[in-house]
Amino acid sequence: MGSVYRARDLHFPNVVKLVAVKEMINRAPDPLVRKTIVQNFEREANILATLNHPSIPRIYDYFSESNRSYLVLEFINGKDLEAIISETPGFMSEELVLSWAIELCDVLHFLHTHKPDPIIFRDMKPSNVMVNLSQHVILVDFGIAKPFFAGQKGTMIGTEGYSPPEQYRGEATPLADIYALGATMHHGLTKRDPRLEPPFSFGERPVRKINPAVSEELEAVINTALQYNPEDRFPSAEAMKEALVMAGRKTGILDRIGGAAASIHQTSSGIKPLWTFQCEDEVRGSPILYDGAIYIGSYDHNVYSLNVADGKLNWKYATEGGVVTRPAAFEGDIYFGSEDQNLHVVSARTGKAVWTYFTDGRVRSSPRIAEGHVFFGSDDQKLYAINLMSQRPSWRFETAAPVRSTPFIANETVFAGTENGDFYCVDFRGEMKWHYKAKMAVTSSPWVADGVVYFVSLDSSLYALDAKSGFVIWRFRMGKGSISSPYLTEGLIFTGSADGCIYAVDARTAKESWRFKTEHQVSSSPVIYKDSLYCGSADGNLYCLEYRTGRVRWKFATKGPITGAPLVYDDIVYIGSTDHILYALLA
């Protein structure tokens, strides 16, 4: 019917990026049917391309050639569960089955609650579950291949033995996936292939009758999933996950898995950087990527342009002071502030100065570019809006303390804090709209979303203010002050604190969702990429956490405290450290 090829993406000539290319052959004789099949394929490819979940392979591309269609997707280095089951000498261990089942419930829940339309996987079975090298599961072979098989065996979709009774009547609901997950777990724990047994006969061979080592708790969960009537099963994948977690807690297996997860992370902390670049002094700022190059400033007074693929130096540009800011890029030019009191504008291509602007203080605030202006603060206590055409200030906004906070621009307003705790909202004419006084310095950059501005202060608080009026909506107390910039995604706001924690706080209710303790202050700012949070700590590590739970995926040790924010792009993390090095790591 089709094949899967392992292929290399030549868009990245300097690194080996593997992808899977799935080929499907369209054998429909009728041209209209053929066309419909291709259209269905493309529609599903489009849906799949929008799914962002760790247990679903990323779709990179698709195309059709004469009677073949191709899907380019993430290459998963691992084995499918069917192979694992048959290669395991005895039964699968309860630990493994439980931990995979929990992850499968997560991804099923994600699919079933997909908006606008729920997605039913319809073909949950061991051969459609891949286990990658870090022991996580990935669902493969989505309904996308189905139209090509239709007509082969009537219209039955799904695999005999794993599918529930109602699927044979042509009904596919989330409860069908739950049944099939129960069947898959049953297969793993008993090694009885349901395709070789009479249909719906799980009730006649309960798990513990074949494998008494399995706990009663887990057996009960599997039995519920395998109920003949859909209404007797778990009502949702989420409910099944809860039951699995409960079972795992009761039997103590979850605690043991926790230990196993820790050991996985031990092994993966042997991460090798893709490349590194050594500066002559500490890297305290953050990198940006622009047009195939990474730009990073250092205390050694330079800003470097590095080839993104291999970290080779394109050029360096020397200022008269340390560069602790994150550069900004706009129309071929790179903008950054320096402690030599200038805002520098340098050609991205040549590394030659285009223009500079002198302030009366060190520039430690990172520039932001919007509406033909560059906005930044200076230790001379002013916030600047400089016109890019005339290279002159459209306005200067006077404050009462150094402005090191990076301005945030939203809806024609500029938000920034100062070192004495003043927080300003300024309109595009440079006039103050409102002002709020925190008890101590607001050094980091604010974040504005849905009419709310979030910022942290050295007074130990994370604030949420109405962006229009400046009224405080809530205040969240951390253990110590913070100069980490908050990051918001999916209703959660993340920030670091000098108490050593990375916090996740619900943006609506100000309730703590989780916190993760590092070994030292967190001055670095968190960044979310896919389902992970990346943040450095003064303990020298870059942490990768699951952003919904705060669980560690991996950490990478540098030889000095990390104070800058990471940059993540195209599955690569770039992070500078005070050990003078900029690292490029696989995300």
What are the residues binding another protein (CB under 8 A)? Answer: 234-236, 239, 431, 433-434, 450-452, 464, 466-469, 471-475, 508-510
Q: How far is the CB of 505 from another protein (least distance, A)?
A: 12
Q: How far is the CB of 450 from another protein (least distance, A)?
A: 5
Please say which residue, 454 or 583, places its beta carbon nearer to another protein. 454
Please say which residue, 257 or 473, places its beta carbon nearer to another protein. 473
Q: How far is the CB of 465 from another protein (least distance, A)?
A: 9
**How is residue 394 annotated by DSSP?**
E
Q: How far is the CB of 579 from another protein (least distance, A)?
A: 40
End-to-end Cα separation, the chain, in angstroms: 34
Q: Note the Cα 89 to chain centre separation in Å.
A: 37
Q: How far is the CB of 247 from another protein (least distance, A)?
A: 16
The span from the CA of 504 to the CA of 362, in Å, is 33
On whether the CB atoms of residues 126 and 93 are closer than 8 A, the answer is no
Q: How far is the CB of 466 from another protein (least distance, A)?
A: 4
The span from the CA of 285 to the CA of 577, in Å, is 9
Q: Which tokens is 226 given?
A: 């395998």
The span from the CA of 584 to the CA of 503, in Å, is 25
Please say which residue, 349 or 433, places its beta carbon nearer to another protein. 433
Please say which residue, 118 or 235, places its beta carbon nearer to another protein. 235
Please say which residue, 96 or 507, places its beta carbon nearer to another protein. 507
**How is residue 299 annotated by DSSP?**
T
On whether the CB atoms of residues 560 and 536 are closer than 8 A, the answer is no
Half-sphere exposure of 224 (CA within 13 A, CB side): 17
Please say which residue, 170 or 235, places its beta carbon nearer to another protein. 235
Please say which residue, 52 or 509, places its beta carbon nearer to another protein. 509
Please say which residue, 178 or 214, places its beta carbon nearer to another protein. 178
On whether the CB atoms of residues 274 and 585 are closer than 8 A, the answer is yes
Q: How far is the CB of 118 from another protein (least distance, A)?
A: 16
The span from the CA of 291 to the CA of 309, in Å, is 12
Q: How far is the CB of 554 from another protein (least distance, A)?
A: 34
The span from the CA of 52 to the CA of 571, in Å, is 13
Alpha helix (H) residue ranges in 156-280: 174-190, 207-210, 216-225, 237-251, 253-268
The span from the CA of 142 to the CA of 20, in Å, is 14
Angle at 346 between CA 411 and CA 401, to 5 degrees: 55
The span from the CA of 542 to the CA of 576, in Å, is 10
Q: How far is the CB of 399 from another protein (least distance, A)?
A: 18
Q: Where are the beta strands (DSSP E) in 364-421?
A: 368-370, 373-377, 382-387, 393-398, 408-410, 413-417
Q: How far is the CB of 463 from another protein (least distance, A)?
A: 8
Question: For 225, phi and psi rounded to 5 degrees?
Answer: -65, -30
Q: Sheet harboring 2-8: ordered strands across?
A: 2-8, 18-25, 68-74, 59-65
Q: Report the DSSP pairing between strands 129-132 and 137-139.
A: antiparallel
Q: What is the CA radius of gyration of the chain?
A: 27
Please say which residue, 369 or 504, places its beta carbon nearer to another protein. 504
Q: How far is the CB of 429 from another protein (least distance, A)?
A: 12
Taking the CA atoms of residue 379, residue 383, residue 385 and residue 391 in that order, the dihedral angle to the nearest 10 degrees is -20
Please say which residue, 240 or 306, places its beta carbon nearer to another protein. 240
Please say which residue, 304 or 408, places its beta carbon nearer to another protein. 408
